[in-house]
Structure 1
Amino acid sequence: MKISVFLPCRAGSERVPHKNTRTFAGIEGGLLKIKLQQLVACNAIDSIVLSTNDEEVIQLAETVSSDKIRIDRRPEHLATSSTSTDDLVKYVPTIITEGAVLWTHVTSPFIDGKIYEEAIDAYKNALSKGDHDSLMSVTALRTFIWNKEGAVNYNRNKEKWPRTQTIEPLYEINSGIFLADIDIYRNLEDRIGKKPFLFENNDIDSFDIDWEEDFFIAEAIYKKLRS
């Protein structure tokens, strides 16, 4: 099974300026360099399609020595802040034509080569059993969750404040990994199938950099883990 990574990396981040390439935890090349090195280190990955409209991203990627990396110069109309994920999903089969697609982001710096390998193994195992048709990474929420009507994930008529470890978890999609065959992209116009396997990450691995404060928190965690 051929595994191709789709790594979107457009220019012009608004919430975290230059988040892809600015120095992160003292590392020149930042999140992009870290992510490319993680992906290259995963032996289960055959190719890495870096989809971008950013010349700085392209120049930095060219400093990472690997024949796995392929640059896709994404059309500008698919690289704006208003571009929908659905439109990007429809674009993927035009640049990846066979095998499975592992969609990931540079903003997940704690999902490394080992975790990608584990996810790919879990995906293959799930397919072989016939129980699932795709995979996505999630974070389990074992806490008190309410909507405007009241408790969502536990019964207050039974127990008002149960121990959180006994609560049936809900799962948050953390956007670290989506893994599905390219035919799912073509036929369902989606990056997951109808029965995705939920690949659970812990709180650190699932950390996603979405805001400026996330960037600084992630830097502190990254430095601590490396010390």
Structure 2
Amino acid sequence: MRTTGSVLAVVPARAGSKGIPGKNLRTVAGRSLVRRAVESARRATRIDEVLVTTDGDAIAAEAVAAGAAVVRRPPELAGDEASSESALLHVLDAISTPLPEVLVFLQATSPFIDPADLDAAVARVVDGHADAVFAAAPSHAFLWRTAPDGTAVAVNHDAATRPRRQDREPEYRETGAFYVMRTAGFLENRHRFHGRVELAVVDGAGAIDIDDEADLALAEALAEALAEALAPTSTTTRDPSPTRATPAPNGAP
């Protein structure tokens, strides 16, 4: 297939999941996780093309229905040990040149990705302010670790002079929702954190990463609180190009 713009969004969505069977097709406020990711990307004005990479027939069909192109992921890149980077590299190898200038990696397990946050992050890379930008939520948490002898060790603060939370400079928690990067830098370094890396500070209230049923229940409750169930789900129409990849007719991965 051939990309039609300089900013490509990719949503990796495996069919298998240990924590939640069929996780990427589970719904929050009536919309599957993969659909929510695709629709967030399609609503971002700075993203030209949205693509889902998957090994699952049902996920591929859902992605196409949501308006995304599909690249079928081979089994060796769809196991539990496969990295997200390997899926992104496979996509870039599968599409025709010219490659996109900017690559946006979204995770379907983050159901509340704000298109405005995506646009702001893409702009910082396109405009030359950063080579990579990723979503992070402010945190004032006091972190600890356990030493080999079992004692507790303060990680990000001095336990002897414990400040008030409101007096501490915030640190930032990587949410996993999205990563925006220069494609050339990603290909050269083979990882998402290359060159000048900056944060896209997002609202921590919606920074949920769904890994188990409890996370899914929390997301559903939050969506209800935000009245997401009543929000329109229509997106700007982008007719699929004949060059876009679609699920194999025989359903083969």
Same-fold call, TM cutoff 0.5: yes
Shift of 1:52: 0.6
Which position in structure 2 is the counterpart of 1:146?
A: 144
Pair 212,62 (structure 1): closer, same or farther in 2 beyond 3 Å: same
Q: Conserved in 1, the CA contact under 8 Å of 2:135 and 2:177?
A: yes
SS in 1 for 2:44: coil
Task: Map 1:175-190 to 2 at 5 A.
Answer: 175-190=176-191
Shift of 1:86: 4.3
Q: Conserved in 1, the CA contact under 8 Å of 2:175 and 2:207?
A: yes
SS in 2 for 1:118: helix
SS in 2 for 1:63: helix
Which position in structure 2 is the counterpart of 1:17?
A: 21
RMSD value, Cα: 2.0
Task: Map 1:98-117 to 2 at 5 A.
Answer: 98-117=100-119
Q: Conserved in 2, the CA contact under 8 Å of 1:23 and 1:30?
A: yes
User: Percent sequence identity over matched residues?
Assistant: 25
Which position in structure 2 is the counterpart of 1:155?
A: 158
Q: Identify which range, 16-25 or 215-224, moves more after superposition.
A: 16-25
Distance of 1:5 and 1:223 partners within structure 2: 27
Shift of 1:211: 1.4
Distance of 2:174 and 2:26 partners within structure 1: 26
Shift of 1:54: 0.7
Unaligned residue ranges in structure 1 (runs of 5+):
none
**TM-score normalised per structure 1:** 0.86
SS in 2 for 1:20: helix
Provide Cα deviations, 1:101-120, integer angstroms capped at 9, x if missing partner: 00011111111222212222
Provide Cα deviations, 1:111-153, integer angstroms capped at 9, x if missing partner: 122221222233345x24xxx3211111222121122362222
Shift of 1:89: 4.5
Whether 2:30 is the aligned partner of 1:32: answer no
Partner amino acid, structure 2, of 1:34: R
Q: Which runs of 4+ in 1 moved over 6 A?
A: none
Aligned pair count reads 216
